[in-house]
């Protein structure tokens, strides 16, 4: 491909050159041909033959026979050939300039003179010299190109690469080692953009330094703030925990007070009975009417009342005593005892209670206190709701059952249920619909908390057809600590 291109290039070059030469030559010969001045013709042909690439020049007559030929020999000497018998074929079929070639040369022909005495000028050009000339040209172009590239590279290196490299070095240097000192990039380039790049870099570096200082300050402030925040959060968490403990204790105290109120109520009747018995004993004694049988009856009746009092105290003690870790307890008994303590106040409010307690349900984790406290809160709420709604036949139904390992206590009332707009809020602390003097809004909040925490159980509420239904659900098995 490269050879073909070179060949075509040389051919085109020589064709072009030959056209110019033959045009000039014909113009010069024209006049002398009319004058038949063959001496001048020869000298003109000789002058043109001195052109390096020209191998021979011929003047050819109308019969295609050469009249005059000037040819270079091997020593590049010009030789004159006259009237050789070499006949040029195919000339007559051309009307004007034409170009042919053989292995060694390119030939260009141009007609000269008038149509009657038409002659031809032929110029032969050496392919070998043409190629050599091209090679010289290419060599020159290559050398010039290489010199130019070298020069350009040098310029690029000097005025672009070197300053850029310097900038790059300073940039990386400043981003690693000299963070705190910044960078001062002194570039003296003849290219305006590079100098302005260096200036921008210096400015950027100064800005970075400033920003770094601001960031360090902000980091320090943030660190101090974080430390303060952590200690403040810890303080608040501690306060919250203390508040929870306080709330829990308050709620326990409230439950105890409720129970003591109930005990006082329960004790009034047997104490009255004992007082009456003592009075009748005293009267019988004063009337001298006291026999052994009556005395024994008095003792039995009194002991019965005392026994009732003592049982109430036992129930109370059982529900308030400290629990031993992981001591199992009988849920059925705890529920009965809790109910017994609150029953008188329910009866006082004309509430009909029904119990459906499955016997012998044992829970293997010590949370009897929590359970009884929650039950008291729920029962008191039910009592309050029934009184407030002034229901005709006030009812509370308590059920205890175990399904598999799940123990479930449900407490239903017929007070109409909890309004849907507040049902989501009743477990929130301090939420109450009762007048402040009647309710703190902590009962259900504490109950839910202790059932969650101390029993790993859950306290939930739904409204059924007649009223509210609270469910305490927990597992009978030991908690995984
Ligand atoms: N059985 C129920 N029927 C209707 N509403 C109820 C029932 N139980 C609770 N509520 C509603 O839930 C609210 C919150 O109950 P919670 O026990 O937490 O507080 P409280 O009873 O108002 O006050 P506290 O228990 O501290 O004396 C009650 O004020 C009441 O409006
Ligand atoms: Mg309550």
Q: What is the pLDDT of residues 9-43, one digit of tens each?
A: 778 888 888 889 999 998 898 888 888 888 999 99
Q: Relative to the CA of 445, which ligand 1 atom is closest?
A: 18
Average pLDDT, the chain: 84
The two three-digit tokens of residue 311, written as one number:
């049982």
Task: For the beta carbon of residue 476, count every other beta carbon within 10 angstroms.
Answer: 16
Pocket test for ligand 1, best of 249, 413, 432 (most atoms within 8 A of CB): 432
Burial 359-393 (b: 16+ CB within 10 A, else e): eebebebbbbbbbbbbbbbbbbbbbbbbeeeebee
Q: Is the pLDDT of residue 3 over 60?
A: no
326 band by pLDDT with thresholds 50, 70 and 90: low
Structure confidence at residue 2 (pLDDT):
44
Closest to 119 measured CA to CA, from 133, 109, 107, 106: 109
In Å, how far from its chain's centre is CA 61? 95
In ligand 1, the atom with minimum distance to the C-alpha of 382 is: 1
For residue 459, which ligand has an atom nearest its CA? Answer: 1
Q: Does the domain made of 324-481 have the CATH classification 3.40.50.720?
A: no
Distance 241 CA to ligand 1 centre (A): 24
pLDDT of residue 463: 97
Q: Give the atom of ligand 1 at the shortest distance from the alpha carbon of 251.
A: 26
Distance 325 CA to ligand 2 centre (A): 28
By CB neighbour count within 10 A (0-12 exposed, 13-18 middle, 19+ buried), where does 289 fall?
exposed
Structure tokens at 113: 């003179």
Provide the b/e sequence for 218-242 (b: ≥16 CB within 10 Å): eeeeeeeeeeeeeeeeeeeeeeeee
Closest ligand 1 atom to residue 440 Cα is 26
How many Å apart are CA 79 and CA 73, to the nearest integer?
7
Number of CB atoms found within 10 A of residue 299's CB: 12
Indicate whether 6 pLDDT > 70. Answer: no
CATH architecture of 213-321: Orthogonal Bundle (1.10)
Backbone angles phi, psi at 148, to 5 degrees: -60, -45
Q: If you take atom 8 of ligand 1, which residue's CA is the nearest one?
A: 381
Rounded-to-integer distance, Cα 246 and Cα 469, Å: 29
Among protein residues, the one with the nearest Cα to ligand 1's atom 9 is 381
Q: What is the mean pLDDT of residues 104-129?
A: 84
Angle between helices 331-348 and 292-320 (to 10 degrees): 110
Compute the distance from residue 385 Cα to the ligand 2 centre, in Å.
10
Residue 32 in tokens? 């002398």
Among 193-202, 356-365, 381-390, 430-439, name the one with the lowest average pLDDT. 193-202
Q: Taking the domains of the chain in order of start, what are their residue ranges?
A: 2-129, 213-321, 324-481
From the CA of 442, the nearest ligand is 1
Mean pLDDT of 89-109: 85
CA 248 to ligand 2 center in whole angstroms: 14
Torsions phi, psi for 291 (to 5 deg): -105, 175
The whole-angstrom separation of Cα 186 and Cα 162 is: 12
**Do residues 416 and 433 make contact, with C-beta atoms less than 8 angstroms apart?**
no
Please give all residues whose beta carbon lies within 6 A of any atom in ligand 1, as ranges: 377, 381-382, 385, 413, 415, 418, 426, 431-434, 439-445, 468
Fold of 2-129: Beta-Lactamase (3.30.450)
Mean pLDDT across the stretch 389-404? 96
Reply yes or no on whether the pLDDT at 402 is more than 90. yes
Residue 410's pLDDT is: 98
Q: Whose atoms come closest to the Cα of 382: which ligand?
A: 1
Q: What is the pLDDT of residues 130-171, one digit of tens each?
A: 888 778 877 888 888 888 888 888 887 777 777 777 777 766
Going by pLDDT thresholds of 50, 70 and 90, the confidence category of residue 174 is low
HEC string for the chain? CHHHHHHHHHHHHHHHHHHHHHHHHHHHHHHHHHCCCHHHHHHHHHHHHCCCCEEEEEEECCCCCEEEEEEECCCCCEEEEECCCCCCCCCCCCCCCEEEECCCEEEEEEEECCCCCCEEEEEEEEHHHHHHHHHHHHHHHHHHHHHHHHHHHHHHHHHHHHHHHHHHHHHHHHHHCCCCCCCCCCCCCCCHHHHHHHHHHHHHHHHHHHHHHHHHHHHHHHHHHHHHHHHHHHHHHHHHHHHHHHHHHHHHHHHHHHHHHHHHHHHHHHHHHHHHHHHHHHHHHHCCCCCHHHHHHHHHHHHHHHHHHHHHHHHHHHHHCCCCCCCCEEHHHHHHHHHHHHHHHHHHCCEEEEEEECCCCEECCCCHHHHHHHHHHHHHHHHHHHHHHCCCCEEEEEEEEEECCEEEEEEEECCCCCCCCCCCCCCCCCCCCCCCCCCCCCHHHHHHHHHHHHHCCEEEEEECCCCEEEEEEEECCCCCC
pLDDT tens-digit profile of 223-279?
999 989 988 998 888 888 788 777 777 777 777 777 777 777 777 778 888 888 888
> Mean pLDDT, to the nearest integer, of 396-421?
96
Q: Contact, 42 vs 70, CB < 8 A?
A: yes
Paired residues of 57 in beta bridges? 70, 123
Q: Which of the listed residues 426, 427, 450, 464 should we mutate to test ligand 1's pocket, taking the one with most ligand atoms within 8 A of CB? A: 426
424 is written with which tokens? 């989501």
Look up residue 27 and give its two tokens.
């113009």
Sign of CA dihedral 166, 169, 175, 181: negative
Of the residues 345, 349, 386, 443, which should be mutated to test ligand 1's pocket, given the most ligand atoms within 8 Å of the CB?
Answer: 443
Check whether 198 has a pLDDT greater than 70: yes
pLDDT band at 400 (very low <50, low <70, confident <90, very high): very high
Of the ligands numbered here, which is closest to the C-alpha atom of 418?
A: 1
pLDDT at position 480 over 50: no
Choosing from 444, 445, 464 the residue with most ligand 1 atoms within 8 A of its CB, the one to mutate for a pocket test is 444
């Amino acid at each position: 491909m490269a050879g073909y291109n070179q060949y075509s290039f040389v051919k085109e070059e020589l064709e072009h050159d030959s056209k110019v030469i033959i045009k000039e030559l014909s113009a010069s010969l024209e006049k002398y041909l009319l004058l038949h001045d063959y001496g001048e013709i020869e000298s003109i042909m000789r002058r043109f033959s001195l052109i390096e690439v020209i191998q021979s020049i011929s003047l050819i007559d109308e019969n295609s026979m050469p009249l005059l030929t000037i040819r270079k020999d091997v020593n590049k000497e010009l030789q004159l050939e006259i009237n050789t018998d070499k006949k040029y074929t195919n000339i007559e079929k051309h009307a004007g300039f034409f170009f042919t070639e053989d292995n060694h040369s390119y030939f260009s022909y141009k007609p000269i003179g008038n149509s009657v005495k038409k002659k031809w000028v032929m110029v032969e050009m050496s392919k070998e010299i043409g190629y050599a000339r091209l090679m010289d040209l290419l060599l020159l172009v290559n050398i010039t190109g290489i010199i130019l590239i070298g020069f350009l590279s040098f310029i690029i290196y000097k005025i672009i690469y070197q300053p850029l490299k310097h900038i790059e070095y300073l940039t990386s240097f400043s981003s690693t080692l000299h963070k705190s000192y910044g960078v001062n990039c002194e570039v003296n380039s003849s290219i305006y953009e590079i100098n302005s790049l260096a200036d921008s870099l210096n400015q950027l570096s100064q800005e970075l330094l400033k920003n770094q200082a601001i960031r360090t300050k902000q980091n320090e402030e943030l660190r101090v703030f974080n430390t303060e925040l952590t200690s403040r959060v810890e303080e608040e968490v501690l306060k919250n925990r203390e508040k929870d403990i306080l709330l829990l204790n308050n709620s326990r105290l409230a439950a105890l007070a409720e129970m003591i109120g109930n005990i006082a109520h329960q004790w009034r009747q047997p104490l009255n009975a004992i007082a009456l018995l003592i009075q009748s004993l005293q009267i019988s004694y004063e009337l001298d009417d006291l026999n052994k049988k009556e005395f024994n009856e008095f003792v039995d009746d009194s002991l019965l009342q005392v026994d009732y009092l003592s049982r109430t105290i036992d129930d109370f003690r059982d529900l308030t005593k400290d629990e031993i870790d992981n001591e199992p307890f009988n849920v059925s008994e705890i529920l009965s005892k809790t109910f017994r303590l609150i029953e008188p106040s329910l009866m006082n409010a004309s509430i009909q209670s029904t119990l459906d307690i499955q016997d012998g349900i044992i829970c293997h984790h010590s949370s009897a206190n929590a359970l009884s406290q929650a039950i008291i809160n729920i029962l008191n709420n039910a009592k309050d709701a029934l009184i407030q709604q002034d229901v005709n036949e006030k009812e509370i139904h308590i059920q205890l059952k175990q399904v598999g390992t799940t123990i479930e206590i449900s407490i239903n009332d017929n007070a109409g249920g909890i309004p849907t707009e507040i049902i989501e809020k009743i477990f929130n602390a301090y939420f109450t619909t009762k007048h402040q003097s009647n309710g703190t809004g902590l009962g259900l909040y504490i109950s839910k908390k202790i059932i969650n925490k101390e029993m790993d159980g859950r306290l939930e509420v739904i409204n059924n057809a007649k009223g509210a239904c609270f469910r305490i659900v927990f597992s009978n098995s030991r908690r995984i600590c």
